[in-house]
Structure 1
Amino acid sequence: MRKTAAGIAVGLVAALGLALPASAISETTADLSVLHGIPDTPVDVYVNGELTLDDFQPGDLAGPLDLPAGDYEVALTATDAADDSSPVLGPVTLTLEANMSYTAVAYLSEDGEPSVTAFENDLSATAAGEGRLTVRHVAAAPAVDILAGDTAVITGLTNPNESSLDLAAGTVSAAVALEGTTDPVIGPADVAVDEGALTVVYAWGSAEAGNLDLAVQTIDGLHSSPDGVPSGSAGYLAQRDAQQSGLLIAGGLALVSALAVSALMVARRQKASDRA
């Protein structure tokens, strides 16, 4: 089935770990990332009836993609579905407002039902020397506390809600525990809070099934107009390497340039041959 241009772009971003510039967001566009947080359920993602993400795996985070503001109908199907007529989830309408950043998450509600929520990413400025940490509870689990060491810094967080803290840049040893307890159900794990960046930690999976996990998304540029939205993916605190992404972009541009030069040389040789 034919993929949309948007789908191809998302696929390339996911495959290469590249970040589209958040500065491309304008008065008429928004950026959108997509996190698959439903365990053991690879899916195809359809947007407005078109296959957009093929064989999207649990824990994967794709995007961001710069999109015109408006309503988008999203449906998730089995990976062998011919179309979106029999979705496993949806269709759900996501409304994207201009000049905003979103992450759409497919996840399990507290009672284990598949759901979709579009979270707004807070890109407001942080103070010098600080970054923002946001924790999103999208797991089939009751209310949780977020622990830094043995101290609860976020309490009573329920699905599908979030809580944010502006912290001094550094590394935080974080864990997730059931509300009122200090026995971690996820972690502890080191989370890097970068200066001028939004770090979003997603607790996803199912407590009953024993497959709770974390995914991390990092958005840079909170000290000024955002200039990039690198995204982590695939499970326990996975993060993309921004330097590697830069090398991939540079390599891609060099390849395009080389192909253009080669094409020009071939054209000139053909003209010379025609004159002869």
Structure 2
Amino acid sequence: MTTKIIRRWGVLALVAVATIASTVLTTGPSYAADSAKVYVVQGLPGKTVDVAFDGHVVARGIKTAKVVGPFPIKSGQRKVTFSDNGKVLLERMFSVKPKSSWDVVVHLPAESKTKPAVTVFRNDLTAVPSGKAELVVAHTAQVPPADIRVDGKVLFKNVANGESLNLVVPVQTYKVAISPAGKSSPVLLGPVDLTVKGGALNRVYALGDPEDNTMNVAVHVIPTGNSGSSRPDRVDTGTGGQAAGVRSLASFWR
């Protein structure tokens, strides 16, 4: 089973690299006075999903690993509903602020194959320095907490389902690998080459369940523009997990 899982991860990783290289950037921010922009990421394997906000259907037939939007949503408390073939899979309340951008991800949680979860990620569309890109990797697959290696170094430890990590990095190709938290093997993903787009937020979502051979990836790229600086101005640890040697990361990426 482990060999099959690793092989499947490797194939999907190569797909992810190709996808990032060819993804058409979605529209950048342009907001009404009291609205937000919301994208939907479909992370449920084997489902074709319809999505509604506050009872109004905004998209139908969203396949696994697809990103749709942006949808202008009035700020405040909103309700999102996901359904498949007319059957409601999940309803969830979430909150958005005016003139902001969000990814709403429906996915499998770590503890269940049948009860989906929703995780909402705010998109930081701050302009990145010239020659740089913002890279965000989100764990939305049904796998245990994992360590993430970049160019052979463990940069983030114990990233759990529903968490993400983000870095501002030079525009180039990196070797990325993922393994179970605290272990160097088995390698669940890679190492594979990952090329990021400059002047943009590059989001990569891990999706699915390796035991069912449904692992997949979704890629979402949103233009941010450049700030003109030639050096990274921030190194973040994301929404969860722990960074290994955060204080040394800025010099690592230069």
- For Structure 1 versus Structure 2, the TM-score category normalised by the shorter chain is 0.7 to 0.9
- Give the drift of 1:20: 6.1
1:25 to 12, 31, 36: 31
1:76 to 70, 82, 93: 82
Residues 69 and 20 from structure 1, CA distance in 2 versus in 1: closer, same or farther, beyond 3 angstroms? farther
Q: Where does structure 2 lack aligned partners over 5 or more consecutive residues? A: 1-22, 228-254
Taking the aligned partners of 2:26 and 2:166, their CA distance within structure 1 comes to 24
TM-score (norm 2): 0.72
Structure having the higher Rg: 1
Corresponding residue of 1:135 = 137
Instruction: Report the AA paired with residue 212 of structure 1.
Output: M
Q: Deviations over 1:191-233 (max 9, x none)?
A: 2223221111111111332322222111112425xxxxxxxxx
Corresponding residue of 1:171 = 173
Corresponding residue of 1:144 = 146
Residues 147 and 95 from structure 1, CA distance in 2 versus in 1: closer, same or farther, beyond 3 angstroms? same
Q: Would the aligned equivalents of 1:186 and 1:213 in 2 still touch at CA under 8 Å?
A: no
Asked if 1:217 corresponds to 2:220, the answer is: yes
Taking the aligned partners of 2:132 and 2:24, their CA distance within structure 1 comes to 25
Q: Deviations over 1:219-251 (max 9, x none)?
A: 112425xxxxxxxxxxxxxxxxxxxxxxxxxxx
- Give the drift of 1:26: 4.7
Taking the aligned partners of 1:63 and 1:118, their CA distance within structure 2 comes to 14
Q: Report the 3-state secondary structure (helix = DSSP H, G, I; strand = E; otherwise coil) of the residue aligned with 2:125.
A: coil
Normalized per residue, the structure richer in helix is 1
Residues 99 and 161 from structure 1, CA distance in 2 versus in 1: closer, same or farther, beyond 3 angstroms? same
Q: Report the 3-state secondary structure (helix = DSSP H, G, I; strand = E; otherwise coil) of the residue aligned with 2:188.
A: strand
- Give the drift of 1:27: 4.3
Residues 169 and 51 from structure 1, CA distance in 2 versus in 1: closer, same or farther, beyond 3 angstroms? same
Taking the aligned partners of 2:179 and 2:26, their CA distance within structure 1 comes to 35
Taking the aligned partners of 1:189 and 1:26, their CA distance within structure 2 comes to 40
Taking the aligned partners of 1:190 and 1:66, their CA distance within structure 2 comes to 35
Q: Would the aligned equivalents of 1:20 and 1:66 in 2 still touch at CA under 8 Å?
A: no
Residues 23 and 58 from structure 1, CA distance in 2 versus in 1: closer, same or farther, beyond 3 angstroms? closer
Taking the aligned partners of 2:32 and 2:194, their CA distance within structure 1 comes to 31
Corresponding residue of 2:90 = 89
Q: Deviations over 1:33-71 (max 9, x none)?
A: 100101112222222223322122111111123333233
C-alpha RMSD of matched pairs (Å): 2.1
Q: Would the aligned equivalents of 1:24 and 1:66 in 2 still touch at CA under 8 Å?
A: no
Taking the aligned partners of 1:93 and 1:54, their CA distance within structure 2 comes to 20
1:50 to 40, 56, 76: 56
Residues 23 and 36 from structure 1, CA distance in 2 versus in 1: closer, same or farther, beyond 3 angstroms? closer
Q: Where does structure 1 lack aligned partners over 5 or more consecutive residues? A: 1-16, 225-276
Count of residues in Structure 1 that have an aligned counterpart in Structure 2: 202
Q: Would the aligned equivalents of 1:19 and 1:64 in 2 still touch at CA under 8 Å?
A: no
Corresponding residue of 1:208 = 211
Q: Would the aligned equivalents of 2:26 and 2:222 in 1 still touch at CA under 8 Å?
A: no
Residues 66 and 50 from structure 1, CA distance in 2 versus in 1: closer, same or farther, beyond 3 angstroms? closer
2:120 to 98, 118, 121: 118
Taking the aligned partners of 2:145 and 2:131, their CA distance within structure 1 comes to 31
Corresponding residue of 2:250 = none
Q: Deviations over 1:65-85 (max 9, x none)?
A: 333323321112222x2xxxx
TM-score (norm 1): 0.67
The runs of 4+ residues in structure 1 deviating greater than 3 Å are 17-21
Instruction: Report the AA paired with residue 131 of structure 1.
Output: A
Taking the aligned partners of 1:134 and 1:168, their CA distance within structure 2 comes to 14
Q: Deviations over 1:93-136 (max 9, x none)?
A: 12221111100000111112311121101122322322111111
Q: Would the aligned equivalents of 1:133 and 1:164 in 2 still touch at CA under 8 Å?
A: yes
Q: Would the aligned equivalents of 1:34 and 1:62 in 2 still touch at CA under 8 Å?
A: yes
